A and B are shown apart, each in its own frame.
Chain A
């Protein structure tokens, strides 16, 4: 009996080896992804338990806060109202300041008969017996007022100038540049 007779040709051995290699590689690939899956599931579980612990902390702190809710509400109300108050004070139209600036510069020798003021204009009607007072007002006071940038005078309109039984009456309107909000 011949022992050295090999019925499998070299071609069949190669095929057998490549099948073995394919098996090994596939097992390794599966093992790799299996390990990754296990690790990722473990990590995910740990993260979720950490989140749950943090949520418990939030609940504990919220419970402590709710005990002090009355104080907290007062403080929140104060802060919220102060924000609105700041807005009001910073943006409300200060027509009193403009009026004060203009009327304080009108000499005492004038009698202010009437005036009307809004955020865009201030009209004044004033009377004096002295014509020189009007000269002084028009030549000195009015230019001084126009130099005051805070008044933002856009233009000045001399409405009328009349004389009646020794009294002179001047009607003037100051127009202001509207403040942008």
Chain B
């Protein structure tokens, strides 16, 4: 230590100012710069939280103001139009009611149900817009005009379907029809953004109700 003392005496007047400068540099790198990053991140968090609060308040107001009976009716209509599973009873009802309405005889129908539980390796039949569908072969008896009417009425029946093929010979018609279904998507229920139905949605529900009868 004794050897350093002369140096201390010689440089002591610049030692204290240098320490202040070093402390300043320390403050810049150890406090100011990291805190700027922290503040920017906190600001981002505040802005996200504000957005979330606005969304939650809006959703809460939509849910609170909704009529539970109306919501239940809407749910009933949309699940009849697009069932959550391969509902054979609904398909049979749609086919027999449409046949009655169209003046054709429903001779037989056959469907390949496929998997009814668990993750399928492959979707049975992929219909429009990637929505799964169950393929049904239908046979009816009737003239050409009533066959056309049957196919038109089937397009306006629930569950929703798409006619892929019609083959008519001597008053015997064969149809290949895809009936759509859509399993419940639990990820949708995790959302907190609830928006009220717009006029287009209300019109669509009314149209589906008309088809339901």
Is the Cβ of B182 less than 8 Å from the Cβ of A22? no
Q: With an 8 A cutoff between CB atoms, is A158 at the interface?
A: no
B63 → chain A, closest Cβ, in Å?
5
Is the Cβ of A76 less than 8 Å from the Cβ of B144? no
**Chain B residues closer than 8 Å to A54, beta-carbon distance:** 46, 49-50, 53
B127 → chain A, closest Cβ, in Å?
7
**Chain B residues closer than 8 Å to A112, beta-carbon distance:** 143-144
Stretch binding the partner chain, chosen from A4-12, A91-99, A138-146, A166-174: A91-99
Is the Cβ of A118 less than 8 Å from the Cβ of B46? no
The secondary structure that dominates the A interface is helix
* Docked complex: B149-181 residues within 8 A CB-CB of A: 151-152, 154-155, 160, 162-170, 180
Is the Cβ of A84 less than 8 Å from the Cβ of B169? no
Known: A71-B66, A88-B129. A99 touches B31 (CB 8 A): no
Interchain residue pairs with CB less than 8 A apart (14): A32-B24, A33-B27, A51-B45, A58-B52, A58-B53, A75-B62, A77-B78, A82-B204, A85-B82, A88-B127, A88-B160, A95-B163, A95-B164, A104-B148
B148 → chain A, closest Cβ, in Å?
5
Greatest chain A CB density within 10 A among B16, B64, B129 is at B129
The distance in angstroms between the C-alpha atoms of A43 and B201, with both chains bound, is 48
A: which residues have CB within 8 A of B? 19, 22-23, 25-27, 29-30, 32-34, 36-37, 40-41, 43-44, 47-48, 50-51, 54-55, 57-58, 61-62, 64-65, 68, 71-82, 84-89, 91-97, 99-100, 103-104, 112-119, 181
Stretch binding the partner chain, chosen from B89-97, B106-114, B190-198: B190-198
The distance in angstroms between the C-alpha atoms of A19 and B16, with both chains bound, is 11
Q: With an 8 A cutoff between CB atoms, is B185 at the interface?
A: yes
Known: A68-B64, A71-B71, A77-B188. A87 touches B56 (CB 8 A): no
Is the Cβ of A76 less than 8 Å from the Cβ of B166? no
Is the Cβ of B31 less than 8 Å from the Cβ of A86? no
Greatest chain B CB density within 10 A among A43, A58, A62, A119 is at A58
Residue of B nearest to A55 (CB): B49
Q: With an 8 A cutoff between CB atoms, is B136 at the interface?
A: no
**Chain A residues closer than 8 Å to B64, beta-carbon distance:** 68
Is the Cβ of B78 less than 8 Å from the Cβ of A82? yes
Is the Cβ of B128 less than 8 Å from the Cβ of A88? yes
A45 → chain B, closest Cβ, in Å?
10
**Chain A residues closer than 8 Å to B52, beta-carbon distance:** 58
Is the Cβ of B59 less than 8 Å from the Cβ of A113? no
**Chain B residues closer than 8 Å to A57, beta-carbon distance:** 49, 53
Is the Cβ of B27 less than 8 Å from the Cβ of A37? yes
Is the Cβ of B53 less than 8 Å from the Cβ of A61? yes
Is the Cβ of B169 less than 8 Å from the Cβ of A113? yes
Is the Cβ of A81 less than 8 Å from the Cβ of B81? yes
Known: A75-B62, A99-B148. A26 touches B17 (CB 8 A): yes
**Chain A residues closer than 8 Å to B168, beta-carbon distance:** 114-116
